[in-house]
Amino acid sequence: MFGKMVEIVENVYAYIQGNGEWFVNNAGLIVGDSYAVLVDTLSNEQRAMEMKEKIREVTEKPVKILINTHGHPDHIWTNHLFDAIAIAHENGRKETLTAFVDVYQTLFSDLDFTGAKITPQDVTFKKELKIYNGREIHLVHPGVAHTTGDCYVYLPQEKVVLCGDLLFAKPCTPLALGGSILGYIKALDELLNLDAEIYVPGHGEVAGKDEIVSAREYLEFVYEEAKKRFDKGMDWYEAALDIDLGEYKDWRESERIVGNVARAYAELKGEEMQFSDLVEAGRRMLEYGKD
């Protein structure tokens, strides 16, 4: 058993997996009058096939539209198993095309990526897109945050937000390596200011506004601590190792401090990280705490 299908309001479901582990993401299902909308797929074929079974248990309506909240592999690698029109932000589609299975298999050699495949989306948008399937579904790009191509899915009548990885719900550690620390903070402010009560995170349990605040406070902590060490002339990896995580040390995947500091340093320098920089930061992140 990989995941659980939780009905959060009538005909809106969160598919919850794990507690923040790498590549163990959540998904969402919005059942409308004649068809269903799926929000994100999963990291391997076995997980995706179990989710398909869980979908069949709650609705006989076909999944006709698939929304990818961003281009990270755990959210897009099993798109091909769903006969649906796939939608993402235009940068999310670009990032989907670089979610190479072999690169991640090298970094995470002990994880199962069986059946993983890159299948780019059919439709893209720039800022906002609305879908109507018996209810309003808003797809909104808040700017560069967790990645360059994030979107959240907002159901205004139901006051529900499916956040993708714009929210790692406490005690899951947020990751901004592929996006922007400051942009991420801004995006969380945007989520916080929505007329919403229920937030489905990309990782972690179904949440409320308190978890949005906690994630924002973590990112503010990272940026402030990184800046102190940047101003002292420390390099980014030395800075990441030097930071005392304090109240965040027991959060899951605390090694993400390394990737987050790498991104903070790039922002402080006014530079963009290249693909090789991202891979190197990812490698060092996974070495964190093993010395």
The pLDDT tens digits of the residues spanning 72-126 come to 999 999 999 999 999 999 999 999 999 999 999 988 999 999 999 999 999 999 9
Q: List, in sequence order, every residue forming a beta bridge with 3; answer none if it has no partner.
A: 17
Give the pTM.
Answer: 0.96
pLDDT, mean over the chain: 96
* pLDDT digits 0-9 by tens, 221-247: 999 999 999 999 999 999 999 999 999
Span of 8-12, 21-25, 142-146 with lowest mean pLDDT: 21-25
Fold of 3-217: Metallo-beta-lactamase; Chain A (3.60.15)
Cα(242)–Cα(92) distance, integer angstroms = 33
Residue 20 has pLDDT above 80, yes or no: no
Residue 212 has pLDDT above 60, yes or no: yes
* Residue 1: predicted pLDDT: 67
Residue 192 has pLDDT above 60, yes or no: yes
* Residue 291: predicted pLDDT: 56
Residues of the chain above pLDDT 90, percent: 94
Q: Which residues contact 66 (CB under 8 A, 6 or more apart)?
A: 37, 38, 39, 41, 79, 82, 84, 85, 86, 87, 121
Collapsing DSSP to helix, strand or coil, 63 comes out as strand
* pLDDT digits 0-9 by tens, 272-285: 999 899 999 999 99
List of E strands, 68-151: 85-89, 123-125, 128-132, 136-140
